[in-house]
Amino acid sequence: MNDGELKIGHDINNNGGRFWAIVAGGSAELTYTNSDDGVIIVDHTYTPPQARGQKIALQLVEHAVAYARANELKIVPQCPYVAKLFDARPDLAERRA
């Protein structure tokens, strides 16, 4: 991640999905579950200790919000990190359910 560009993957299943990236120490991820029509619940973020402090979780959240915007979804930020970020960033929180 020398140039700040992080390749983020997105896996989707019937119950939800996850955004992920291979980083130092393993895999970073943000997971979500589908709720009512048009709502996803972001329930977990994780960055391996070796990769922390590089704004990787922030980039995962930004991808999740972009996905929500593109698909006209709202987000319930159940993960404490995401909830705190939504409180601090109105540009992301506009997708909050």
Tens digit of each residue's pLDDT (9 = 90 or more) over 80-92: 999 999 999 999 9
- Specify which residues 42 forms β-bridges with: 32, 77
Dihedral angle of Cα 55, 1, 32, 16, to the nearest 10 degrees? 160
User: What residue ranges do the domains of the chain occupy?
Assistant: 9-93
Residue 3 has a pLDDT of 47
Place 4 in a pLDDT band, splitting at 50, 70 and 90.
low
Residue 44 has a pLDDT of 98
Place 2 in a pLDDT band, splitting at 50, 70 and 90.
very low
Residue 93 has pLDDT above 70, yes or no: yes
CATH topology for the 9-93 domain? Aminopeptidase (3.40.630)
Tens digit of each residue's pLDDT (9 = 90 or more) over 11-70: 999 999 999 999 999 999 999 999 988 999 999 999 999 999 999 999 999 999 999 999
Given a contact cutoff of 8 angstroms between Cβ atoms, the answer to whether 53 and 19 are in contact is no
Compute CA 91 distance to the chain's CA centroid, rounded to the nearest angstrom: 14
Residue 1 has pLDDT above 80, yes or no: no
Compute CA 15 distance to the chain's CA centroid, rounded to the nearest angstrom: 16
DSSP-based helix, strand, coil % in the chain, nearest 5 = 30, 35, 30
